[in-house]
């Protein structure tokens, strides 16, 4: 009987907790295609500094959005903890750069909390709500809002990309 309980708890883990600077955020597991180490990147001229460029992810061109820059934080050197989360939103795949991926947890175990809109940057971050997990607030991000900056990059505009294979 206890094996069934553990199994059902595992299935309920629907949010992944990530870190950007010192703030904790969450993304819905159902929207995540894969978590990868940073891939080769082609920087493209752009107006938005938080779109780092594009990369070849499993034979698809994906735009890469750096959450640090999107949130108005200074860039940070890539480390072993730096990850790209490939998310599906708005009918496309986008790589989202985070400082670290921490763990998964269940939204059902924690009451959802409303978050006040403090300023216009808050809207740009796409924070929809918050959860209290491991004695800390974790802010849920809207994947549709995160891919918005990458909507102007089309794969036909990029003639060739470095392969993700070494």
* pLDDT per position as a tens digit, 79-128: 999 999 999 988 899 999 999 999 999 988 888 888 877 766 656 668 88
pTM for the full model?
A: 0.80
Topology, domain 2-157? OB fold (Dihydrolipoamide Acetyltransferase, E2P) (2.40.50)
Domain-wise residue ranges, the chain? 2-157
β-strand partners of 95: 64, 86
What pLDDT, on a 0 to 100 scale, did the predictor assign at position 87? 95
* pLDDT per position as a tens digit, 50-74: 899 999 999 999 999 999 998 889 9
What pLDDT, on a 0 to 100 scale, did the predictor assign at position 137? 94
CA distance 97 to 37: 10
CA distance 60 to 55: 8
* Alpha helices, DSSP H, located in the chain: 2-11, 67-70, 120-125, 143-147
Strands (E) across the chain are located at 15-20, 23-28, 32-36, 51-57, 60-66, 83-89, 92-98, 100-105, 127-133, 136-141
pLDDT-derived band at 7 (thresholds 50, 70, 90) equals very low
């Amino acid at each position: 009987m206890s094996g069934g309980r553990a199994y059902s708890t595992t299935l309920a883990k629907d949010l992944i907790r990530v870190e950007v600077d010192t703030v904790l955020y969450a993304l819905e597991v159902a929207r995540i295609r894969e978590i990868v180490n940073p891939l080769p990147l082609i920087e493209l001229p752009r107006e938005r500094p938080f779109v780092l460029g594009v990369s070849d992810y499993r034979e698809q061109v994906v735009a890469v959005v750096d959450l640090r820059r999107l949130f108005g934080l200074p860039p940070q050197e890539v480390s072993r903890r730096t990850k790209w989360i490939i998310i599906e939103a708005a009918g496309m795949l986008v790589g989202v750069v985070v400082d670290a991926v921490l763990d998964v947890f269940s939204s059902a175990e924690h009451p959802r909390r409303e978050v006040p809109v403090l300023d216009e940057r808050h809207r740009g971050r796409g924070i929809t709500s918050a959860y209290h997990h491991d004695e800390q607030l974790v802010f849920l991000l809207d994947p549709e809002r995160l891919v918005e900056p990458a909507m102007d990059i089309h794969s036909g505009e990029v003639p060739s990309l470095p392969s993700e294979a070494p």
